[in-house]
Chain A
């Protein structure tokens, strides 16, 4: 199935073809996870978002009309799913905060969110990078993640996010400047 294009695999998915579905899943699962992880900042939520995105893809595959590529179409589903789950989580977190003691709640969230990937990163500068990316506002974070993490072209990002190429360029530039400033110490130390 490796020789099949994304579009051919998506057509197979629309028919419920298991081999095509498996091939698409294997091709995109780690890429999808990387994007979701950088958008959401933790392993558990990233995996939930990847799972939801694949299930949505199966349901929606028959609606693919080829206006975009299968790859940008899938990333659009993934980014929207991840950001929706983040918004929902925020609503739940603020509802929890009304009921729980603030300190206890923070501890509970920290222990729930932290997986081995985060644990591995803790000893390095990874945590600072994770935090800096998480601190970016949504519209700059999504552009930076798709460009820097997945290497999507400006045209592909414009398709995924439904914005112009000019907007992609300016958001990406802003995100880089922001992160460069946030991680000044780390970047200068590692550059020397």
Chain B
């Protein structure tokens, strides 16, 4: 490998400003004494200049492209707005569902005896039922316990055929 071949790749990096300082000094020293490498570097520089020489495109194509880009941006805004609205609707629906679920689980259901459930209510034994004008007290006793529960049902008096007359 000749001296020049050893420096060729470094010349390329030198042209691009990518050569480390210590190597740059070495390559520059070689360039000072080598006409062939100086010519090569000049030709590569010329190549880059020629490659950069691209004029503006013709016509009003930039405006056409920008109009399409502007439409793209408008669609983007619309899509972001839609996404925000959907997200908001989902949050509202989730809150509403939570409230409904809470109401369902926390509200008292059929058994009205404090601290009992439907299954427990079926274990009561009806001890007596009395009826009177407008009321019907029911006395119930939990199985095996000595604690009567009195249930007073408000009943509407039923008019007898005699009363109607």
Contact = CB atoms under 8 A, between A and B. Distances in A.
Contact of A180 (B16, B43, B52): B43
B159 interface: no
B86 interface: no
Interface string A19-60: 001100100011001100110000100110011001100110
Contacts of A22: 66
Contacts of B40: 180
A58 B120 CA distance: 65
**A17, A47, A145, most chain B CB atoms within 10 A:** A47
B110 to A, nearest CB: 53
Give the size category of B's interface with A: 35 or more
Contacts of A190: 46
Contacts of B28: none
A78 to B, nearest CB: 13
Contact of B16 (A13, A25, A59, A154): A154
Contacts of A188: 43
**A18, A50, A58, most chain B CB atoms within 10 A:** A58
B77 interface: yes
Given A34-B52, A117-B54, A21 B70 contact: yes
B68 A51 contact: yes
B43 A29 contact: no
A153 B18 contact: yes
A188 B40 CA distance: 10
B55 A169 contact: no
B44 interface: yes
B106 interface: no
Interface in B43-57: 43-44, 46-48, 50-57
Interface of B: 8-9, 12-13, 16, 18, 39-40, 42-44, 46-48, 50-58, 61-62, 64-66, 68-70, 72-74, 76-77, 80
12 contacts: A18-B73, A34-B54, A117-B55, A147-B16, A148-B48, A148-B51, A148-B52, A153-B16, A176-B12, A180-B40, A187-B47, A188-B43
Interface of A: 13-18, 21-22, 25, 29-30, 33-34, 37-38, 43, 46-47, 50-51, 54-55, 58-59, 115-117, 120, 125-126, 129, 133, 144-145, 147-149, 153-154, 169-170, 172-173, 176-177, 179-180, 183, 187-188, 190-191
